[in-house]
Protein backbone atom coordinates (compact mmCIF):
# COMPACT_ATOMS: atom_id res chain seq x y z
CA UNK A 1 0.00 0.00 0.00
CA UNK A 2 1.17 3.53 -0.73
CA UNK A 3 -0.39 6.77 0.47
CA UNK A 4 0.78 10.18 -0.76
CA UNK A 5 -0.37 13.44 0.81
CA UNK A 6 0.55 16.81 -0.68
CA UNK A 7 -0.21 20.44 0.11
CA UNK A 8 -1.88 22.30 -2.74
CA UNK A 9 -1.35 25.96 -3.61
CA UNK A 10 -4.97 26.83 -2.75
CA UNK A 11 -4.58 25.73 0.91
CA UNK A 12 -6.19 22.33 0.42
CA UNK A 13 -4.49 18.93 0.70
CA UNK A 14 -4.68 16.01 -1.74
CA UNK A 15 -4.38 12.43 -0.49
CA UNK A 16 -3.95 9.61 -3.02
CA UNK A 17 -3.59 5.90 -2.41
CA UNK A 18 -3.04 2.56 -4.07
CA UNK A 19 -2.66 -1.04 -2.90
CA UNK A 20 -1.41 -4.22 -4.52
CA UNK A 21 -0.40 -7.75 -3.66
CA UNK A 22 3.19 -8.19 -2.47
CA UNK A 23 3.76 -10.62 -5.33
CA UNK A 24 2.78 -8.02 -7.96
CA UNK A 25 4.44 -4.85 -9.26
CA UNK A 26 3.27 -1.48 -7.98
CA UNK A 27 0.47 -0.12 -10.18
CA UNK A 28 1.27 3.13 -11.97
CA UNK A 29 -2.15 4.72 -11.41
CA UNK A 30 -3.55 5.94 -8.09
CA UNK A 31 -6.68 3.99 -7.08
CA UNK A 32 -8.27 6.59 -4.82
CA UNK A 33 -7.97 10.36 -4.39
CA UNK A 34 -9.45 12.73 -1.82
CA UNK A 35 -9.18 16.52 -1.52
CA UNK A 36 -9.36 17.84 2.05
CA UNK A 37 -10.62 21.44 2.02
CA UNK A 38 -9.72 22.09 5.70
CA UNK A 39 -6.56 20.04 6.38
CA UNK A 40 -4.45 19.83 9.51
CA UNK A 41 -1.04 21.09 8.36
CA UNK A 42 0.74 20.90 11.72
CA UNK A 43 2.25 17.94 13.55
CA UNK A 44 3.94 14.72 12.57
CA UNK A 45 2.64 12.09 10.14
CA UNK A 46 0.66 9.26 11.70
CA UNK A 47 -1.59 6.33 10.92
CA UNK A 48 -4.92 5.35 12.46
CA UNK A 49 -6.90 2.13 12.21
CA UNK A 50 -10.46 1.41 13.27
CA UNK A 51 -11.54 -2.24 13.31
CA UNK A 52 -13.38 -4.87 15.33
CA UNK A 53 -10.15 -6.86 15.74
CA UNK A 54 -6.46 -6.13 16.28
CA UNK A 55 -4.65 -4.25 13.52
CA UNK A 56 -0.97 -4.73 12.77
CA UNK A 57 1.22 -2.51 10.61
CA UNK A 58 4.48 -3.93 9.27
CA UNK A 59 7.30 -2.23 7.38
CA UNK A 60 5.79 1.24 7.71
CA UNK A 61 8.03 3.99 6.32
CA UNK A 62 7.49 7.73 5.96
CA UNK A 63 9.23 9.66 3.17
CA UNK A 64 9.18 13.27 2.06
CA UNK A 65 7.34 13.81 -1.25
CA UNK A 66 9.61 14.00 -4.27
Count Cα atoms within 13 angstroms, Cβ side, for 30: 11
Question: Distance of CA 51 to CAs 2, 39, 54, 61, Å?
Answer: 20, 24, 7, 22
| pLDDT > 80? residue 28 | yes
pLDDT at 54: 94
Mean pLDDT, rounded, for 5-34 = 95
Mapped onto helix, strand or coil, the DSSP state of residue 25 is coil
Q: Is the pTM of this model over 0.85?
A: no
pLDDT at 66: 73
Count Cα atoms within 13 angstroms, Cβ side, for 8: 13
| pLDDT > 90? residue 42 | no
Amino acid sequence: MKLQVENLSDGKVRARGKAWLATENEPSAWMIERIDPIPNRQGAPGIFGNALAEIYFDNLKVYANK
